[in-house]
Amino acid sequence: MKYVIKILFIGIVILVGVGYYFKNTGDHLTGDKLVGIGILAASFILMPIFIYHRWKNKKVKDYMLTEENLNKMRDYDKKKENNKK
């Protein structure tokens, strides 16, 4: 999965770069299309795949501010303060 993400990222960067090259050489219409396709691909293809890859096999509950997690944070802070003294 990470290789797919890397290949997509490199392809999108190349596509946007080529688009800006076309814009600088005078073919603004083709350049705008290539940059637009690159940005759309980054937004609607690369980003969801990246988010899925980073969040798979993770428990969402670990990242939520539940009462249990708040108590864990308070206990951690108290231990830190006691170690400083």
The whole-angstrom separation of Cα 8 and Cα 21 is 20
- Using DSSP's 3-state secondary structure scheme, residue 1 falls into coil
Determine if residue 57 is left, alpha or beta; phi over 0 gives left, psi from -120 to 50 gives alpha, anything else beta: left
The whole-angstrom separation of Cα 46 and Cα 23 is 24
Band (pLDDT 50/70/90 cuts) for residue 85 is low
pLDDT in tens, 33-60: 999 999 999 999 999 999 999 988 888 8
Total domain count, the chain = 1
Which residues constitute the domain of residue 54? Answer: 2-84
* Residue 75: Cβ within 10 Å count: 10
